[in-house]
Amino acid sequence: MAIAVLYKEELKEYDFGLGHPFRGDRYEIFPAFLKENLAQDDNYRILEADQATDEDLLLICNRDYIEFTRDYFRAANLGLSYPGSFSQYHSGDNIPRGKPGKLEEAARLMIGQAKMAADLIQSGEYKKVVCIGGNMHHARPGYGEGFCIYNDNAFAAKYLMERHELERVLILDTDAHQGNGTCEYFYSDPRVLFIDLHQDPRTLYPGTGFVDEIGEGPGKGYTVNIPMPVYAGYDSYRLVFEEIIQPVTEEFKPQIIIRNGGSDPHFADELTNLGLPVKGFRMIGEEAREIAEICQGKEIDIIGSGYNKEVLPYAWLALIAGLADFKIELEEPFPIPQRFQRDSSFEATKEVIEQVKRRLKDYWKCFD
């Protein structure tokens, strides 16, 4: 069965301007790479979503935040200044440089894609939907940071629970940075199991996601942070899936899975210090496909991050190929450096896994 790939050319407007780490050309580079390497045919269908409305955004955002964000970024796109306290609503890394794209409109499109993905799966039209663009996992209800404006991962989960009345949603965040915004949305909500693999927060923004951050109140135990040691590679990631993600997912029995994350755990990423080769991204996709069998194959995949544009298309397509079981060979775009030819952090990863199990054993039988 073909998967749905949600993409619209206007996503390239999610561009903070020349000199900023997050540019919109990723949304031109990847679609071209996808079409060159894999025909639609019976593999996938490219569909276009509509922008989210204010009513949609109010599901996850405060009204004053929406209004400031809309007006500020639209003024910036026109080269105009906008009165008001930017720092009240956004961190400095969200300040556009020069002439940015139509950021706010593109951010609404990412929310629209998350909404469409949920509807397509719940209607039975597709089992798997991939959103090209998004993964805005640092954004919170009233504050944008980390290049993120509106949190599409949180929207997808909230929309599935409120509109489609789901009671158990798994969010699996495999981005190199911890999804602090998504985590905050569901920290006390036992309907959402939030599992986050990310680089050790002592060494990378946003500095959150330690083993002992496990949720609060009725949601205690439903946040699973797995801080990966610096340079952790293929073997480390596979072991984490085997020892933590698979068993806790089987016990939770989600009705759908939302996986988010792009290419930034790659060893050549320019902002991070992990060690995955391209085949590691295919493995992540394969693991997501395998655990999704628990919920009849239902999975939303949100892909957006990565800061080496030569690596990005290979890793993104590897994620999709693993998820959809596409028989396509993807080469490594760079020679693998000597230090990454073996997973030097494997033993340290074993220690992290034991820490996670000890911290969560009172909440999950599989860890007891």
The H or E element containing residue 76 is helix 63-77
What does the pLDDT read at residue 42?
84
Element (H, E) at 131: strand 128-132
Are residues 70 and 104 in contact, defined by beta-carbon separation less than 8 angstroms? yes
- Which residue of the set 20, 90, 137, 138 is catalytic? 138
User: For 97-138, what is each residue's pLDDT tens digit?
Assistant: 989 999 999 999 999 999 999 999 999 999 999 999 999 999
The domain tally of the chain equals 1
Cα–Cα distance for residue pair 368/187, rounded to 1 Å? 22
Note the pTM of the prediction, 2 decimals.
Answer: 0.97
Q: Give pLDDT, residue 201.
A: 98
Q: What is the pLDDT along the chain (368 residues), one digit of tens a residue?
A: 789 999 999 999 999 999 999 999 999 999 999 999 998 888 999 999 999 999 999 999 999 999 999 999 999 999 998 888 999 999 999 999 989 999 999 999 999 999 999 999 999 999 999 999 999 999 999 999 999 999 999 999 999 999 999 999 999 999 999 999 999 999 999 999 999 999 999 999 999 999 999 999 999 999 999 999 999 999 999 999 999 999 999 999 999 999 999 999 999 999 999 999 999 999 999 999 999 999 999 999 999 999 999 999 999 999 999 999 999 999 999 999 999 999 999 999 999 999 999 999 999 999 98
Q: What is the pLDDT of residue 11?
A: 98
Which of 216, 4, 281, 17 has its CA nearest to residue 122?
Answer: 4
How far, CA to CA in Å, does 54 sit from each of 64, 66, 140, 154, 364?
11, 8, 16, 16, 39
Is 137 a catalytic site residue?
no
DSSP state letter for 225: E
Q: Which CATH number characterizes residue 310's domain?
A: 3.40.800.20
What does the buried/exposed string (b/e) look like for 135-146 if buried means 16 or more CB atoms within 10 Å of the residue's CB?
A: bbbbbbbebbbb
Nearest to residue 182, comparing CAs of 213, 217, 204, 228?
A: 213
Task: Compute the radius of gyration of the chain from its Cα atoms.
Answer: 19
**Which one-letter DSSP state was computed for residue 242?**
I
Q: What residues make up the domain containing 90?
A: 3-367
The Cα–Cα gap between 246 and 186 comes to: 21
